[in-house]
Structure 1
Amino acid sequence: NGFEWYGLAFASYLLTTLIGVVWAGQDTDRRGPLRIFLIGYVAFGFGLVLAGFAQSMEALMIGRALQGLGGGISWTVAFATINLAYEPLQRPKMIAVLDVAWIVPSLLAPIIGGYFVDHLDWRWIFLSQIPILLVAAALLYPRLKRLDKSVNEQQSLPSVNKIHSALWLASLCALILYVSNQALSWQWVLLIPGLWLMRRPFLALMPDNFFSLSNMLTLVLVVHGIVFICFYGLEIFLPIATTKIHDMDAVDTGILIGVGACTWCLASFLQAKISARLNASTSLAIGFGMFLIGTLLFIASNHFPENSEFNGPTTMSLAMLYLAMAVAAFGSGMAFNTCVTAAMASTQKGTEGATSTSLGIISSLSIGLISGVGGAVLNLGERQALATSVTLDTIWVLTAVCALSVCFVFVPKIRRLEINAKAQ
C-alpha cells in the first residue's frame, strides 16, 4: 500500500548513486578499481538483505539507498575499466558488450519479478540476487586486481571536497523530491532555493565550464542526461499504463520491458559497428528521432480503444505497445552508445574515473529528476481524480519535449564542433 512512494522508491536508489559514483571515480583514479569495487558490492549486498526483510516502507527505502550506493560504485568502475583496459577503437564495442551485460537481466528479471509478485512473495526479488552477487564478486576480484595501481602510481586527489559536494547534492535532491511529492502548499516555495543551492555542488562534480557547453565533453554529458530522462520517463511509468489502462499482468509487463532491453542492445551494437563512419551528431539525431516516434506511439496507446469483452489489451493495442517500446528503446540505445563513446574520446588520460563519475552523476540525477517529477504528476493526478491516461500523457509529453530539444538545440552545436575539428 505504498503507491504514494512510487517515485521515491526509484529516487532513494538514485540519490545515493550520486555519492557512489563520485567516491568510486576518485578512488579509481587514485588507487585503481579493486578497493572501491569491494566496498560497493558489500553495500549492495547489505541493501538487498535489508530490503528483502523490510517490514515498512521506510526500511525498504534504506535498503534501496544502500543498493544505490553500491550500484553507483559499480557503474563507475565498469566504465572506468573500459578506458583502463582497452584501446580507443575497441571502446565502442566494449560499451555495447556492457549493454549486453544487462540485456539478460533486463529480459529475465522483470518476468521473474512479475512471477514473484503474482505467485510467491515480492521479497524474493531482492533475496534471490544475493547468490548472483557472490558469484560475480568471485569472478571479478582477480581481474580487477590486475588493474590496481602500485603505491608509486597512486595519485593524490582532493576526495573529501568532492564527496562533500555529492552529499550536499544528494541531500538537496532528496528535499526537492520530498516537497514536490506533497500536496500543493507553502512548502513548494522551498523548491526555488533548493534548486539554486544545487548549482554549486553540481558544478564541483562536473568538468570545468560545464554550463558554457563550449566543448564536446560538456555537450555529450548533457545529452547523456537527456537520454536517461527520456527512456526512464517511459520505462519507470510503463507498468502503470500496462496494469491500470491495459489490464496486463506483471509477467506480460516484464516481457514488454524485455523487448526494450533487446532493441536497446541491438542499437548499441549497431552504433559500435558504424561509429567510425557515422559522426556523433547524425547518430544522436537518428536516435532521438526514433525515441520521439516511440513516445508518440505510447501516448496513442493510452487512448486506443480496448475490447471490453475480456480482460487484457486487444491485439492491436498490444502490437502498438510492443512497437512503441522497440522503437523508443532502439533510439535510446543508439544515443546512449554515442554519448558514452564521445565522452570517453574527449577524456584526458588519467581522468577516466572523473569522466565516469560525471556520466554516472548525470544519469542518476536525470533518472531521479524524471522519477520525482513523474511521481509528483501521478500524485497530483490522484488528488485531482484525473484519469491515469492524462497523467501519463503529461509525463511522456515532457520526455518528447526533451527529445526535441536535443534534435534542435544540441545536435547543431555538436555538428559545428565536428566540422571545426575536421577543418583543423
Structure 2
Amino acid sequence: MTATVAPATPAPNLFAPHLRAMTVGTVALVSLLAFEALAVGTAMPTVARSLDGLALYGLAFGGPFAAGVVAMVLSGIWCDARGPRPAMWHGLVWFVVGLVVAGTAPVMGALVVGRVVQGFGSGLLSVALYVIVGQAYPEELHRRIFAAFAAAWVVPSLVGPAVAGLIVEHLGWRWVFLVVPAVAVPAVLLVHPGLRSIGRGAATGVPAGARVRIGWAGGAGVSAALLHIGGQQRGAVAVVVTAVAVAGLLVCAPRLLPAGFLRSAHGLPTVIGLRGLASGAFVGAEVVIPLMLSRERGFTPTAAGLVLTVGALSWSVGSWIQGRIPQPASRATLPRTGLTLITAGIATVAATVAPGVPVAVGVLGWALAGLGMGLLYPSLSVLTLELSAPGEQGRSSSSLQLGDSLFAATVLALTGAVLAAGSAPGPRDYLVTLAVAAGLALLGATLAPRVTPPARPR
C-alpha cells in the first residue's frame, strides 16, 4: 500500500496571487507619501518666491503636520470602529484634493490651505495602511511587508529631491503637487479589491472618549505647528514660541499615547516610546551632519548629501535583513540591536567633530545608524500589531506614528534652537546635539527589554 503524500503548502509570499495587487498598491502609496513629503521641501523656496509668500513659509510646513496629527488619531478611531476601508478612501480624497488646491494656488494662503488638506489626507492614509497590514496579511509576512514599506521611504529619500528639482526647473513647481494624484488613484484602486475581504471594525459606534481624544490631538497638532513656526523665527520670539509649543506637547501628547507610556510600562507603551526615541535620535543627528561637514570640513552640499545617502541605503539593507532572518527568540532582540547600532553610529559621527578624525569614520558611523534604523523600524511595527488588543489595531498604529512624528518634531525644534543660539554654530554645538541624539538612542536600548509584556501571575 502506497502512502499518499500531501502536497507541500506554499510558503507565504507578498506576491501570491491574492496579495499581489494589495502589495503593489500599498507600497506605491507609501512611496508617494514619502515622495511628496520630501519633494515639497525642495520646491518650497521657489514656491515662496513665486507667490511672494515668505511670511507663510513656516505655516506651509507646520499646518499640514498639525492636520496630520489630528488625522492620525481620527483614522485610528475610524479603523477600529468601521475597518480601514472608509479611512483609506477618505484619505485618498483629502490627499488628492489638497494636492490639486496647492498645485493650482494663485496665492500663498491658498497653497497653505491645500497643504493642510493634503496633510490631513496623509494622516488618514498612513494609519489605514498599517491596519490593512494587520488584517490582510498573515503574521509571518508582517516583517516583510513593513520592510517593503521602509524601502518605499528610502527610494524617495534618494531620488525625490533630485526629481523634484528637475520638475521645478523644467516643468514648474506646480507639477511637484499635480503629478502625484495621477499615481495615487491607481494605487488605491489596486488595494481596493483586497479591502473587500476585510471586515468592519470590532467597535460599535464611536468608542468612549473618542471626542476627547480628538480634542487632545488638536492641541498636540497646534503645538507641533508652533514648533515648525518657531523654527523660522530668531531671538526671543523663537524661544517663546518653541517653549509654548513644547509645553503644549507635554500636556497633550501623553493623552494620545498608551497608558504607561511615560513610565515605559512593559509591552505596547515601550514599543511606542522606542519608536519615538529612535526617530528623535536619527533626525536629530541627520540635520547636524550636513551642516557640520559643510562648515567644518568644506564639503559641498552635494557631497554632504551623499553622506546622508549612505545612511538611507544602509537603512534599506537593515530592513531587508530583518525581513529574512528567522524569528528571534525574544521580542526585544531586534529593537535592542537596532538601538545599540544607532547609539554607536551617532557616537562615531560625533567623533568627527575633532578635526583630526577622518570623515570616513563618520560615514561608517552613519551607515551603522542607518542599519540600526532598518532593523528597528519594521520590527516595532510588527510588535505594535502583535501586542494590540482585538479591535485596537487602529488606535495602536495611530499612537506609533504619533510618537514618531511628535518626538521628531520636538527634537528638530530643540536642535534648531541650539544651533541658532549663537552667531554661528560651532564644534561645541555639534557635539551637544549629537550627544543628545546618541543619548536618546542609548535610553531606548536600555528600555528595549520592556517591549515584552509582563509575565502573568499563575
| Structure 1 equivalent of residue 374 of structure 2 | 333
**SS of aligned partner of 2:258:** coil
Task: Report sequence identity in percent.
Answer: 25
User: What one-letter code is carried by the residue in structure 1 that aligns with 2:372?
Assistant: G
1:133-182 deviation per Cα after TM superposition (whole angstroms, max 9, x unaligned) = 233233223333432529x9754424433222211221233345545654
For residue 395 of structure 1, the aligned residue among 418, 433, 454 is: 433
For residue 333 of structure 2, the aligned residue among 274, 282, 298 is: 282
CA contact (8 A) 2:70 2:214 kept: yes
1:354-389 deviation per Cα after TM superposition (whole angstroms, max 9, x unaligned) = 111111111111122122223333443xxx321466
CA contact (8 A) 2:223 2:244 kept: no
For residue 49 of structure 1, the aligned residue among 100, 122, 127 is: 100
| Structure 2 equivalent of residue 313 of structure 1 | none
Distance in structure 1 (CA, Å) of the matches to 2:219 and 2:189: 34
User: What one-letter code is carried by the residue in structure 2 that aligns with 1:369?
Assistant: T
| Structure 2 equivalent of residue 311 of structure 1 | none
Give the number of aligned pairs: 405
Distance in structure 2 (CA, Å) of the matches to 1:211 and 1:128: 42
User: What one-letter code is carried by the residue in structure 2 that aligns with 1:411?
Assistant: A
For residue 122 of structure 2, the aligned residue among 68, 71, 75 is: 71
Q: CA deviation at 1:101?
A: 2.9
Distance in structure 2 (CA, Å) of the matches to 1:232 and 1:24: 25
| Structure 2 equivalent of residue 367 of structure 1 | 408
1:25–1:191 Cα change, 3 Å: same
1:39-95 deviation per Cα after TM superposition (whole angstroms, max 9, x unaligned) = 222222233334445677665554443332222222101111111123333322222
1:394–1:43 Cα change, 3 Å: farther
| Structure 2 equivalent of residue 411 of structure 1 | 448
Residues 200-279 of structure 1 mapped to structure 2, 5 A cutoff: 200-236=251-287, 238-241=289-292, 246-250=298-302, 256-274=307-325, 276-279=327-330
CA contact (8 A) 1:110 1:258 kept: no
Q: CA deviation at 1:353?
A: 0.5
1:156–1:127 Cα change, 3 Å: closer
CA contact (8 A) 1:107 1:257 kept: no
1:153–1:271 Cα change, 3 Å: same
For residue 376 of structure 1, the aligned residue among 417, 428, 446 is: 417
Q: CA deviation at 1:234?
A: 3.1
CA contact (8 A) 2:257 2:403 kept: no
Distance in structure 2 (CA, Å) of the matches to 1:289 and 1:145: 41
Is 1:109 the counterpart of 2:147? The answer is: no
**SS of aligned partner of 1:273:** coil
Q: Which runs of 5+ in 1 are unaligned?
A: 307-315
Distance in structure 2 (CA, Å) of the matches to 1:375 and 1:54: 30
- TM-score of the two chains, using structure 2 as the length reference: 0.75
Is 1:20 the counterpart of 2:71? The answer is: yes
Distance in structure 1 (CA, Å) of the matches to 2:433 and 2:182: 37
Distance in structure 1 (CA, Å) of the matches to 2:159 and 2:426: 28
More helix by share: 1
Is 1:292 the counterpart of 2:330? The answer is: no
Distance in structure 1 (CA, Å) of the matches to 2:155 and 2:107: 31
Residues 74-113 of structure 1 mapped to structure 2, 5 A cutoff: 74-113=125-164
| Structure 2 equivalent of residue 386 of structure 1 | 424
1:135–1:107 Cα change, 3 Å: farther
Distance in structure 2 (CA, Å) of the matches to 1:191 and 1:375: 10
Larger relative contact order (Cα-Cα within 8 Å, sequence gap ≥ 6): 1
| Structure 2 equivalent of residue 344 of structure 1 | 385
CA contact (8 A) 1:25 1:354 kept: yes
1:156–1:5 Cα change, 3 Å: closer
| Structure 2 equivalent of residue 137 of structure 1 | 188
1:226–1:12 Cα change, 3 Å: farther
Distance in structure 2 (CA, Å) of the matches to 1:326 and 1:395: 19
Q: CA deviation at 1:15?
A: 2.5
1:58–1:397 Cα change, 3 Å: farther
Is 1:161 the counterpart of 2:199? The answer is: no
- TM-score of the two chains, using structure 1 as the length reference: 0.80
Q: CA deviation at 1:298?
A: 3.3
Distance in structure 2 (CA, Å) of the matches to 1:241 and 1:60: 33
Distance in structure 1 (CA, Å) of the matches to 2:285 and 2:106: 30
Q: Which runs of 5+ in 2 are unaligned?
A: 1-44, 49-53
Deviates more, 1:176-185 or 1:288-297: 176-185
